[in-house]
Amino acid sequence: MRIAIASDEVTALTDDLLAALRDGGHELSLHGPLAGGDQEWVAASAAAAREVAEGRAERGIVCCWSGTGASIAANKVAGVRAALCADPQTARMARRYNHANVLALSLRLTSPPMGREIVAAFLDEPDGTDDFDRRNVAELEAMEAGDERAS
Which positions are annotated as active-site residues?
A: 64
Report d(CA 91, CA 147) in Å as an integer: 28
Query: Rounded to 10 degrees, what is the CA torsion of 55, 83, 98, 58?
Result: 20
The distance between the two most distant Cα atoms of the chain, rounded to a whole number of Å, is 46
Element (H, E) at 13: helix 12-23
